[in-house]
Amino acid sequence: MITLKTPIQKLPRIGEKYLSKISHLNIHTIGDLFFHFPARYVDYSNLMPISQIKTDELITIQGKITKNKTTRTWRRKMYLTEILVSDATGSVKALWFNQPYLTEALEEGREIRLSGKLSKGKSGIYFSNPSWELASRIPTNTGRLVPIYPETAGVTSRWLRWQIQCLFKLNIEFFDPIPQEILQKLHLPDLKRALFWIHFPKKEDQYLLAQKRFAFQEMFFLQIKSLLVRHQWNQEKAVAIKFNEKQINPFLKSLPFQLTNSQKKAYLEILKDLIKEQPMNRLLNGDVGSGKTIVAAIALLATALAKYQSTLMAPTEVLALQHFKNITTLFALHKITIGLLTNSYQIIKKGNAAEKKITRSEILEKIKKGQVDIIIGTHSLIQKDIRFKNLALVIIDEQHRFGVSQRAFLQQEASKISDGIKNKIPHFLTMSATPIPRTLALAFFGNLDLSILDEMPKDRKKIITQIISPTDRQKTYNFIQKEVADSRQVFIILPLVEESKILTETKAAVQEHRRLSEEVFPDLKIGLVHGRLKSEEKERVMQNFQENKINILVATSVVEVGVDIPNASIMLIEDADRFGLSQLHQFRGRVGRSSYQSYCFLFSEKNSGLAQRRLKALEKSQNGFEIAEKDLKLRGPGEFFGTRQSGLPDIGMENLTNIKLIKISRNEAENLITDDPFLEKHSSLKKEVDTFYQKIHLE
């Protein structure tokens, strides 16, 4: 029996020549070929008699070939195939360039269909390179809505149409992963019909309904997986961390600032989770500078006061060190032992005592014995050689990385960690500084509880943001010189370049660093970080910048710049139009972290409407959630995520802003999981969901 999982080489018409070519389109099975959906459709359904045809219209004619010749034009060295097609009302000429093999296919006397647009020449109107097929064939490439597919060298849409049409003639078993009752309820076509309609629709309504079905299917799978993960997580047990408000309140009163309402709401949500025996699985999502660290610190304090261990993980050593300094300062009046464990640092500090550098083996032994309450480090803390006495809380700070797949991996690894508590896993909190639009939160984070920080501290000054024209570049450099003279520091970010061009990016960064050092700011200390630097070198430069040994830091966009530099007051971004709004907002959030007035200068050579409209949105708004929504609307979900990171198929990506679809798919998934929590009655569906999830490697 042929199924969608049957390897493509089992088809008789596909030889070795085509196997290697279609592999570039990720087509390896019959299912892959069926799910290689059209990118668009061309409407060739307008069949007209030759006497009525006009230029600049997509039309189809049908008639007999009355003349056929192929000549070679020596001046341009190309073949020209020319035919004359006649029907009862008239005749028209058709031309093809460099396709001499058509001479045999288009023999005189054959009845054919031609589809395309007419061109006008000296000798009248004619078809130039039209689509064609014999009139005896069922319309596939002409005379109908014709699908146009993503192609690769040697694989045309015509070839794909022919292959897919032949597939429908085979006796293939179509297992529909969506239960029939759901399809009927939502008035959606079954799998076989939807596939036929998406490839060979007779009218627009059919392919639109097919697209709707597949958009629902992808979102439905996402929601089911999300609910299964949540359900599985809910079966686990954690220790209940009882907190004492009398101990927490003095700490809150000792802070030199007041918490915002959203910070208060967030820490209470977290503390309420911690007192349960069901492990917390929460995402703390906040705008840049909205104060996530202090919310996390309250959770760390509650855990330490309850005599359990906790860990805070950051993506880089510089950020881990920054967290260590901030947390030890916050807890200086508490007799809590805090450890920093990275490749370069092994430090412990208790209360307001001095920091103590120790060996890796010493700090590992102390962690194992429970003599370190809070352990701060990078993601390398999840390693086999690290043992805890009673780890009850894991916090992951992913800064502005939207690493959905990384988070899922870290969560999985953290649940396996040797926490020293039998049959229990730690509570889990993730912090993300990428404001997530509501639709994306609905689609991707259904297995997490969300706490949102959408307020900025009251004393925080707005960052003055300006689009700078090329004529004002020198004026901006003069302003930077003045700010540095007042002991301020500056970030200069260079534009995004694809990973395949990382050498070009590095070269550009080195050249710009040299230009700024020699021509623009010869009297200033200018540092450089880029993607080709070794981690240790990168960390050293960032450390020097943090310690004010560098006035200006030139950085490429691939470099993590999440380190807190309160003294930095200027963010200058070159070719700002090449970044997404959310990323620009993240960069802007690196300044304005103290009482100094801060500035963000957006350099752009582009005057196009869309580029200017996007940058003006950043000029007008300081709210990261508003900007993320705007970014999603202007660039679409694929660009917002970065397609490589999301991996969601095109139809799913296009519908990520469709709240109604997401809610319907969520509702249907919840109904199904309520009735069948482990999909025991729907084992085939579970298999399909798992396969889909592996392909897209999402949360």
Summarised one tens digit per residue, pLDDT across range 213-242 is 999 998 999 899 889 888 888 889 999 999
Domain boundary among 128, 143, 158: 143
Q: Which residue matches tokens 């999981």?
A: 673
Task: Return the SS3 of 287.
Answer: coil
Q: Higher confidence at residue 371 or residue 644?
A: 371
- Give the pLDDT confidence score for residue 643 in this predicted structure: 41
Q: Is residue 92 part of a domain?
A: yes
Mean pLDDT of 20-42: 92
Question: Can you give the pLDDT at residue 570?
Answer: 96
- Regarding whether 606 and 534 lie in a shared domain, the answer is yes
Residues 299 and 373 in one domain: yes
Q: Does the pLDDT of residue 635 top 80, yes or no?
A: no
Residue 227 CA to residue 308 CA, distance in Å, equals 30
Check pLDDT > 50 for residue 644: no
| Confidence at 491, pLDDT banded by 50, 70, 90 | very high
Q: What is the per-residue pLDDT for 161?
A: 95
Cα 80 from Cα 71, distance rounded (Å): 5
Please check whether residues 479 and 599 belong to one and the same domain: yes
pLDDT digits (tens, 9 = 90+) for 403-430: 455 555 556 666 667 777 888 899 999 9
Greater pLDDT, 382 or 597? 597
> 581 phi and psi, to 5 degrees?
-60, -40
- Is 56 inside a domain boundary? yes
* CATH number (domain holding residue 523): 3.40.50.300
Beta-bridge mates of residue 282:
429, 449
Q: Do 515 and 425 sit in the same domain of this protein? A: no
Nearest to 285 by CA among 63, 163, 436: 436
Q: What's the pLDDT at 215?
A: 92
Asked if residue 627 has pLDDT above 80, the reply is yes
- Kind of pairing, strands 568-573 and 391-397? unpaired
Instruction: With respect to residue 182, please indicate whether it lies within any of the assigned structural domains.
Output: no
Q: What is this structure's pTM? A: 0.80
In 3D space, the residue among 477, 463, 464, 466 whose CA is nearest the CA of residue 604 turns out to be 466
> Do 469 and 427 fall within a single domain?
no
The predicted-structure confidence for 493-538, as pLDDT tens digits, reads as follows 987 555 445 556 667 788 889 999 999 999 999 999 887 788 788 8
3-class DSSP state of 595: coil
What is the average per-residue pLDDT within 644-673? 78
Last residue of a domain, one of 108, 143, 178: 143
Residue 324 falls within a domain, yes or no?
yes
Encode 468-480: b = buried (16+ Cβ within 10 Å), e = exposed: beeeeeeebeeeb
CATH number at residue 130: 2.40.50.140
pLDDT in tens, 25-35: 989 999 999 99
- Please check whether residue 310 lies inside any domain of the structure: yes
pLDDT tier, 323 (very low <50, low <70, confident <90, very high otherwise): very high
Q: What is the DSSP letter of 603?
A: E
Confidence of residue 666 (pLDDT cuts 50, 70, 90): very high
Out of 16-20, 322-326, 409-413, 538-542, give the one with best mean pLDDT.
Answer: 322-326
Boundary residue ending a domain (143, 162, 189): 143
Q: At 373, is the pLDDT very low, low, confident or very high (cuts 50, 70, 90)?
A: very high
Residue 595 has pLDDT above 90, yes or no: no
Asked if the structure places residue 138 within a domain, the reply is yes
Greater pLDDT, 684 or 383? 684
Q: Is residue 397 situated within a structural domain?
A: yes
Q: Please, what is the Cα angle at 436 between 434 and 440, to 5 degrees?
A: 140
Q: Which of 397, 392, 431 is closest to 415 using CA atoms?
A: 392
Residue 551 lies inside a defined structural domain of this protein = yes
Do 335 and 471 fall into the same domain? no
pLDDT digits (tens, 9 = 90+) for 253-281: 999 889 999 999 999 999 999 999 999 99
Residues contacting residue 596 through CB under 8 Å, at least 6 positions apart: 461, 488, 567, 569
Res. 89 pLDDT band, cuts 50 70 90: very high
Q: Is the pLDDT of residue 249 over 70?
A: yes
Q: For the chain, how many structural domains are there in total? A: 3
> Which residues is 284 bridged to in the sheet?
431, 451
- Output the pLDDT for position 659: 84
* DSSP code at position 678: T
552 within 8 A of 520, measured Cβ to Cβ: no
What confidence score (pLDDT) does residue 655 get?
73
- Average pLDDT across the chain, whole number: 87
Query: What one-letter code names the amino acid at 183?
Result: L
Looking at the structure, tell me whether residues 131 and 269 fall in a common domain. no
d(CA 141, CA 159): 10
The predicted-structure confidence for 66-84, as pLDDT tens digits, reads as follows 999 988 877 667 889 999 9
User: Which of 392-396, 411-415, 540-544 ranks highest by mean pLDDT?
Assistant: 392-396
Which residue range forms the structural domain that includes residue 373?
A: 245-275+288-434
In this prediction, residues 608-630 reach a mean pLDDT of 85
User: Does one domain contain both 414 and 492?
Assistant: no
What CA–CA distance (Å, rounded) separates 397 from 266? 16
Question: 478 with 609, same domain?
Answer: yes
The yes-or-no verdict on residue 402 having pLDDT over 70 is no
Same domain, 427 and 475: no
Alpha-carbon torsion angle 562, 564, 568, 572, nearest 10: 10
Alpha helices for 417-522 (secondary structure H)? 438-444, 473-485, 502-515
- Domain check: are 349 and 477 in the same one? no
Amino acid occupying residue 489: Q
* Cα 259 to Cα 286: distance, rounded to the nearest angstrom: 14
Looking at the fold, whether 395 and 357 belong to one and the same domain comes out as yes
